[in-house]
Structure 1
Amino acid sequence: MLICPQCKFENPNSNKFCQNCGTSLTQKICPECGTGVAINAKQCQNCGAECGMVWLATIVKTPTEQITVSTRESSGDSLKETETTNSNELISSEQVVSWPLEVGYHLDSQQRYQLLENLPIWEEIEAKSEICVKVLDSQPYQISPLTAVLENISTKTNNAVLESERIPHIAKTYIALYPQVHYGIPLIHDAWQQGDMQVILLEDRSNWKQLLDLWSADTTTSFQILHFCHQMTVLWQILEPFNCCRSLLQLSNLKLDEDQAVALQKLYFEPVSQYINNVGVSSSVTERTNTTPVQNSPLKVQALGRVWQALFRQSQRTQVGAFVELLGDLEFGKIQTLKQLQLRLEDIGTQLQCSNNIASPTLLQVNDDMEEGEKMNEDSPTVTLPLHLISLEDAGVTDVGSQRDHNEDYFGIETKISKLELPRSGNVGARGLYILCDGMGGHAGGEVASKLAVDTLREYFQTHWTDSLPSEETILEAVSSANKAIYDVNQQEARSGIGRMGTTLVMLLIQDTDVAVVHVGDSRLYRLTRKRGFEQITVDHEVGQREIIRGVDPSIAYSRPDAYQLTQALGPRDDSFISPEVQFFEIEEDSLFLLVSDGLSDNNLLENHWQESLQPLLKSDASLHFGLRELIELANKYNGHDNITAVLIRSKVGTNVRC
């Protein structure tokens, strides 16, 4: 399918213009001079500006003992079954790349990705060798097969994708990290295996600023250096379970995004013991620091300290006293865990923030209601310490809609907030439970099921939620109790067929900056932040989405007459027929969460109107209640065929340091 660059509407591959907004799908606009440019052009023919979609291709030669071959269907929208063959067996010419490949040749059999750099002679390349080249995407509006799967992925389907032989080995770490949604980790765009060649395409970050360059700049303050260190510990925590921490040990791999946040150009996920030496830094660093490699040293947080030492050494920057002590304690093992390291960084941040040594270019994002443009100019970095919740607000509303005579939706909001104020610090402790259910089963059925689910869940967490966010097991037990409560009523009243009542569920749990979400059915959770934009967090449990996960093209999956039929709901059946999806994440910036029933989410209503209807609600002085009423009016105008329910939560985060 073709994704419209303007409104993100999904169009058939044959379309030349977007069916929704009329934007051209065969041309793009040059960002410099506004001239129309063919979508497969690398440069504007008028002004010469770079305007092509360029990806960074990582290519690995598969060992000759066994070759897994994966080709694509001619449609380009699905992955074909793989075959495994021994190296002495012939591989068909359709599966083998013609060599040599030079600038202008296509890397893939679909003639989509055009090489911008020459490749070495393949026969001369050793097995497991890795090559990185840039490629031009000649079909940038065409969704890739892998992207189509990832956009509809959940925790369980992610595991299924990782186990698939159709996915090249070198792509699986990126896919496993995809649910983390961290700006520092490069997103994977496409992946395939052709003959003995594995290929993955990543966002091209080669032109991003180097961390070392800003570390070396005279205008960079100690507080900014501290901020970089903390960001690297956050990335370390994410990468460690996937054996990717080596990615942080290559100085050339450490980049900065447009907000001057630490980001990685690519992942290094080979066994760490092959690359770590006695100072905990990879070979690219040891070459500059005259250290001797020692094999099989365990990778510990001390490795981060040695990378920071290398950054100080390379930048010829003087270390302040607090950093000298920190690096010394790391080197001599006084800091053993990542948590200890993060606490030390926070302590140093408190000292720096409350001193008079903070240079003017550094800005700390604090709890105020200034507009983003008032807080910083275009080139000023946002420097943050570990974040704390500073406010939590919410509102909910339900409406019968314009075509129904009764309301089967129901919602519940339950919050507990405590506030701490000290001379130099302050933060909010909060616990929020937000539940939305869309009932089914007709009058005296759907509304009973939705209310029963909300009441059961509220009662459950009143006794099973203590001082920390409930575990996945606890959350699943809560959902099971709600399902059983409705199921038992169905059994007692001998309801059958479509007369059995049930309900969808989407539930959000917030404990300070920790978040959990669980859902069953097609009620959704969305998230809006300034950095990530508007995102759908949950994936509907319906036939169409089930088929997409199985590899069916979305246009085919949703042409089925039963495409929107639910595959899961609470109540109609016992626990063996439900499989709730549970996700956990942290609030890393000011966020707006929106729980909705399908009366509001149908027909891409929110995707098409979030900028004018939701984005203003990120501001502290915007009324959530007023915003909800406008959403209800919008839904009645464009949808109205169903009940409409929404719950809005606005969370603000910042540091707890004040001077």
Structure 2
Amino acid sequence: MVKQYLWVEGQGIENYHVGDLLLNRFLVKSSKVLLDTRPEQSIEAQIFDPASVQPYLKLFPYCPHIPQPYCVLYLEEKQSHQEVLLLDQAPIGKCDLSTEENLELSHRYAQPLELAWKGASALRQINWLWQIAQLWQPLAEQKVSSSLLQPNLIRVESSLVRLLELRQDREATPSLAELGQMWQQWLPTANNAIKSALSSLCLQMIEGQIQKIDQLINILDEFLQQSAIAHKFTFTVAAQTDQGLTRQSNEDTYYVTDRETFSNLPLTIVCDGMGGHAGGEVASSVAVEAIAQHLQGVNIASENTTSLVIKLHEGIYKANDLINQSNNQDHRRDYQRMGTTIVMALACPPKMYIANIGDSRAYLINRSGCYQVTTDDNMGCRLVRLGMSFYRDSFSHSNSAQLIQALGVSSSKVLHPRIRQFVIDEDCIFLLCSDGLSDNNRVEEYWETEILPVLAGEIDLTVASRRLIDLANHLNGHDNVTVSLVYCQVS
């Protein structure tokens, strides 16, 4: 089992000692960290305060930046009678545990951004600020943007910015001027290559010349492009698919770009078809061909962020329309309609663009950890996004795995693809896969043994993809399985 270290939001745990076992389940590791010793067992239905928990649930699509509620713990021992919220996927680091406990977190390097800031490359420093800016509007909508103004809550794990917990805004909504004032404190140890430009940016924010978050993000995008000039980006892709041990056909399809077509910038797509042998195979193939063809005419290197996102949307809508039209022409209804999930990755240095619909997933793997960076389009995740259920509780619903959207089953007018951007400032791997691999948390269980060795130069990327296929067949085995690995190297 993947060990569930949980961050404690609230007071009361400090009254216990390291090694105490709460409710015969939660082991105290420090005053702010518990370990669930029985993560495979369900927890009783949660009764929670909507005001404090809703922001986490509504921000669920912004994983891995935002932790998620795991359960509410009612402390009744020692006359405490307090409630604390336990958060999963929080950036718990070695600074939060004793020396002995650090052995179990050997791959985790979460540390306060202020601590990691000094000595970081210009590209990484801008990347961290860019991520904070990206989170500003979603957090403001949930009235928790003040969380981004408290340095003690902002952690980094290699390239990723992650928050320990969320704090409610007080009476007034925080301003970009306040954000500029916080960033200004980091100027003395900013990388010399960006110190002058960053100083000017902070001054503009403080003086109110930059009042809209989109304006700030556009400026930081320009800084990213300028900082990336000093780096060389190399991409290697390995993809494989397998029918699996029980299926009579393979409804999965994958695509890896021709290097010459895209000027050495990779596009890779994984689709998991639905609708049986005559439908699923067709839908996934049509989707892959339509999107690849649409993007072939795009000069990716010359596109800005906005236009590239538009092109990705257009390709997805084109694929959806083709499959949808075929369904209509064949008079397919309801569950007879063929469709497909899709997850795709497009590299345009210094960014990787990830798009998905359905429950095929993308993961980011670096030396600090393995992070799921897509959200499944199923009923369980929908309940979380609506603020109605904790993520782990959502699995108890009978239809939690039922997809709520896929390519080809309805009009593009009601299709909502999600496109995310990740700045590449270090060697890392993006794993795209169908649920034949991701089911039962196989990626989370085996990334250290099967994917991390690629970053260490111990195994070849193609070997790693084959081993993942074999692992999926051996431990899951109930479905087709497709894997695409994108190895990003930065020098």
Whether the TM-score (by the shorter chain) exceeds 0.5 is yes
For residue 561 of structure 1, report the CA deviation from its aligned partner: 3.0
Matched, 1:52 2:17: no
**2:91 and 2:483 mapped to 1: Cα distance?**
35
Counterpart for residue 446 of structure 1: 280
1:480 aligned residue: 317
Amino acid aligned to 2:384: I
Alpha-carbon separation, structure 1, partners of 2:235 and 2:153:
34
1:257-336 to structure 2, matched below 5 A, reads 270-271=174-175, 304=184, 308=187
Letter of the 1:541 counterpart:
D
Cα separation, 2, equivalents of 1:412 and 1:574 = 24
Match of 1:149 in 2: 57
1:647 CA drift (Å): 0.9
User: Does 1:435 pair with 2:269?
Assistant: yes
Q: 1:327 to 1:647 in 2, by over 3 A?
A: closer
1:437 to partner: Cα distance? 0.8
Q: 1:38 aligns with which of 21, 43, 53?
A: 21
Larger Rg: 1
1:17-416 counterparts in 2 under 5 A? 36-38=19-21, 51-54=29-32, 77-80=46-49, 145=53, 149=57, 153-154=60-61, 181=65, 227=120, 232-239=125-132, 242=136, 270-271=174-175, 304=184, 308=187, 388-416=231-259
Residue 558 of structure 1 and its aligned partner are, at CA, apart by 2.5
1:583-616 deviation line (CA, Å, top 9, x unaligned): 1121132111111111111222222222222221
User: 1:537 maps to what in 2?
Assistant: 373
Kindly indicate whether the alpha-carbon contact (under 8 Å) linking 2:436 and 2:482 is maintained by their aligned counterparts in 1. Answer: yes
Note if contact 2:155-2:164 (Cα within 8 Å) is conserved in structure 1: no
**Which SS does the other structure have where 1:452 is aligned?**
helix
State the match for 1:99 in structure 2.
none
Whether 1:589 and 2:432 are equivalent positions in the alignment is no
Identity %: 28
The number of equivalent residue pairs is: 413
Quickly say closer, same or farther: Cα 1:619–1:582, change in 2 above 3 A. same
Q: Deviations over 1:609-643 (max 9, x none)?
A: 22222221223452222222222221111222211
Query: Which structure has the highest helix share of the two?
Result: 2
Q: Is the 8 A contact 1:437 1:505 kept in 2?
A: yes
Higher relative contact order (CA 8 A, sep 6+): 2
Asked if 1:493 is matched to 2:336, the reply is no
Cα deviation for residue 9 of structure 1 reads 11
SS of residue matched to 1:525: strand
Q: Secondary structure at the match of 1:431?
A: coil
CA distance in 2, matches of 1:540, 1:503: 13
The residue type equivalent to 1:460 in the other structure is: H
Within-5 A mapping of 1:510-589: 510-531=347-368, 533-550=369-386, 551-554=388-391, 557-589=394-426
The one-letter amino acid of 1:52's match is S
* Paired residue type of 1:431: L
**Distance of 1:392 and 1:145 partners within structure 2:** 40
Does structure 1 conserve the Cα–Cα contact (< 8 Å) formed by 2:363 and 2:374?
yes
Following TM superposition, by how much is the alpha carbon of 1:344 offset from its aligned partner in structure 2, in angstroms?
Answer: 13
Q: How far is the alpha carbon of 1:560 from its aligned partner?
A: 3.2
**Secondary structure at the residue paired with 2:266?**
strand
CA distance in 1, matches of 2:447, 2:186: 42
Aligned counterpart, 1:600: 437
Compute the RMSD of aligned alpha carbons: 5.2
Q: Helix, strand or coil for the counterpart of 1:464? A: coil
Gap regions ≥5 residues in structure 2: 7-15, 34-42, 73-84, 97-110, 210-215
CA distance in 2, matches of 1:328, 1:565: 47
State the TM-score, normalized to the length of structure 2: 0.66
Give the AA of the match of 1:539: T
Kept in 2: contact 1:228–1:262 (CA 8 A): no
**Any stretches of 5+ residues in structure 1 without a counterpart?**
11-27, 31-35, 45-49, 56-73, 83-143, 155-177, 193-198, 215-223, 283-302, 313-319, 347-384, 419-427, 655-659
1:513 maps to amino acid: P
**Is the 1:146–1:189 Cα contact (8 Å) retained in structure 2?**
no
- Please report how far the alpha carbon of residue 258 of structure 1 lies from its aligned counterpart in structure 2 after TM superposition: 9.3
How far the C-alpha of 1:481 sits from its partner, in A, is 0.4
In the TM superposition, residue 578 of structure 1 has moved relative to its aligned partner by 2.1
Counterparts in 2 of 1:497 and 1:430: CA distance versus 1, 3 Å? same
In the alignment, which of 451, 457, 464 is matched to residue 298 of structure 2?
464
Q: Alpha-carbon deviation of 1:232? A: 4.9
Q: SS of the residue aligned with 2:389?
A: coil
1:54 to partner: Cα distance: 2.1
Where 1:579 maps in the other structure, the secondary structure is coil
